[in-house]
Amino acid sequence: MDYGVMPDDGSVRDAQWNVVGHTYTPKMLSENAFIWHALIPAETFVPPHIHPTQDEWIVMLEGELEVEFGEDKQKAGPGDTVKMPMGKAHGIYNRSGKDAVCIFGVAPSRKLFELFGKLDGVTDPEELVRISAEHEVDFLPPPDEA
């Protein structure tokens, strides 16, 4: 990791990705941690998934997100920190009607930076699941419809 200040309009390797409709801008990358700025539009989500090799967190800046840990549903707003330990399934939803802005991070970095580059613009759910599994992110199957 280089030292210094990452400008507001800067990004690691000049990257910015569209992942599941969210805009992700990488701000810091080292072997130990990866941090990115996220714009999460209203009515978008990341389906339930597991990071088996990483702890993940979100620091909320603007708006509101709902995070589901199985049946446990929690809301996060400005100033809140969401903690998602490795191995714990979680889904992230913006059901607020307004955009949300936050900072995500994972530790260690593992393959997530590379994954976001490969997912940039991918819209096919099966392809998203396949590529993610190759990069240590495992999406859960959809719930049975009763």
Answer whether 76's CB lies under 8 Å from 64's CB. Answer: yes
Q: Looking at the chain, list the stretches that DSSP marks H as alpha helix, in order from N- to C-terminal side.
A: 112-119, 125-133
Confidence bin at 144 (pLDDT 50/70/90): low
Q: Tell whether omega for the bond before 108 is within 30 degrees of 0, i.e. cis.
A: yes
- The residue ranges of every structural domain in the chain are 20-135
Tens digits of residue pLDDT in 12-64: 999 999 999 999 999 999 999 999 999 999 999 999 999 999 999 999 999 99
Sign of CA dihedral 107, 57, 140, 119: negative
pTM of this prediction?
0.95
Task: Return the half-sphere exposure (C-beta side, CA atoms, 13 A cut-off) of residue 79.
Answer: 0
What is the pLDDT at residue 145? Answer: 54
Q: In one letter, which amino acid is 137?
A: V
Angle ∠(136,141,142) on CA atoms, nearest 5 = 135
Tens digits of residue pLDDT in 57-102: 999 999 999 999 999 999 999 999 999 999 999 999 999 999 999 9
- Residues in CB range of 41: below 8 A, 6 or more apart: 21, 22, 94, 99
Quick one: CATH architecture of 20-135? Sandwich (2.60)
Answer whether 67's CB lies under 8 Å from 91's CB. Answer: yes
Assign 60 to helix, strand or coil.
strand
Distance, CA of 120 to CA of 122 (rounded, Å)? 6
